[in-house]
Amino acid sequence: MPELPEVETVRRGLDQLLPGRRVKAVFHDNMKSFLCAPEDMRRYLVDAEVVRVERRAKMLMLQLSSGYVLVVHLKMTGQLVFRNDTVRFGAGHPNDSLVGPLPDKSTRVVITFVDGSRLFFNDQRKFGWMRLMPASTLADLFKDIGPEPLRSDFTWKTLRSRLLRHPRTSIKAALLDQHVLAGVGNIYADESLWGARIHPQTVVGHLSALQIRRLHTALLRVLRLSIEKGGSTDKNYVDAEGKRGSYLQFARVFRREGLPCPRCGTTLVKTRVAGRGTHLCPYCQPLSSDMITP
């Protein structure tokens, strides 16, 4: 489930692989995965060169020399995998790729470049999308999305002011809300709340300044560590070369219900908060009755 660290990992990979390559042809299997008018595709995608690859929240932007941008959202099971079959790997090349020969049955879009290399957009559950749009319209797409947590101007006070726009909701729901903060999903919400010792159901308005500072610190630590580990691979997620990420080996609570809390040894539990599976330590992340959502 690609969140900020996964999408950023893909971005870094693609930004090394794609710039300078010119689009030769595009295949797509349905118009839901590939949101683009055919004439726009011919005019602004075919023959355009990839200039660079950027990220905003959980979206990737392939900036094109045509002045258009190919925006990609991987949603739950999306993958963007680059293949260059014209390059032969020598014997003993480490094969830690999670994906096999491409295209496969989950392939929704294939972009072939002039040099023969290809970019595959795979998406088992078809929630993800690719959309071709003018670069000038990107600002509108992002206008309601919250700040990027890894930018240097994202301070704990920024976090506080964003959170306090929703003082009556649970902290977990607020963290998952992309209008509050960009890029956090279920894994990193649970991990950072454990790090800050805050119960996910705590009402935002009841958080102390100290708790928000701890949350800010924990959030940055978790996101940075995950990027360092190449993101979290549960089932589907892979980077631009098809390789898995290893963050889940370092996760403290996510998918660890029944195991001891790394901090206090109490058995971790899985509950449901804000409609999501939620992992926490009932001892480290206490919930007093006056702090819960009604």
Instruction: Using CB atoms within 10 Å of the CB of residue 43, give its burial: 0 to 12 exposed, 13 to 18 middle, 19+ buried.
Output: middle
Check 2, 5, 149, 200 and give the catalytic one. Answer: 2
Report, in Å, the least distance between residue 126 CB and DNA: 5
- Report the residue number, 50 or 174, with the smaller CB distance to DNA: 174
What Rg do the C-alpha atoms of the chain give, in angstroms? 20
DSSP state of 242: S
Crossing angle of helices 209-228 and 4-17, in 10° steps, is 40
- Report the residue number, 213 or 276, with the smaller CB distance to DNA: 276
Contact predicate 257/268, CB 8 Å: yes
DSSP three-state, residue 34: strand
Report, in Å, the least distance between residue 148 CB and DNA: 13
> Which residues does 161 contact at the CB level (< 8 Å), separation at least 6?
none
Report, in Å, the least distance between residue 285 CB and DNA: 17
- Report the residue number, 106 or 226, with the smaller CB distance to DNA: 106
Report, in Å, the least distance between residue 105 CB and DNA: 6
Task: Give the interface with DNA as residue ranges (CB under 7 A).
Answer: 1-3, 32, 57-59, 73, 75-76, 105-106, 124-127, 166-170, 173, 176, 178, 185-187, 235, 270, 274-277, 293
User: Is-catalytic flag, 58?
Assistant: yes
Check 11, 58, 229, 256 and give the catalytic one. Answer: 58
Place of tokens 């959170």: 163
Check 22, 24, 255, 276 and give the catalytic one. Answer: 276
User: Is-catalytic flag, 276?
Assistant: yes
User: Is-catalytic flag, 6?
Assistant: no
DSSP three-state, residue 291: helix
Active site positions, annotated: 2-3, 58, 276
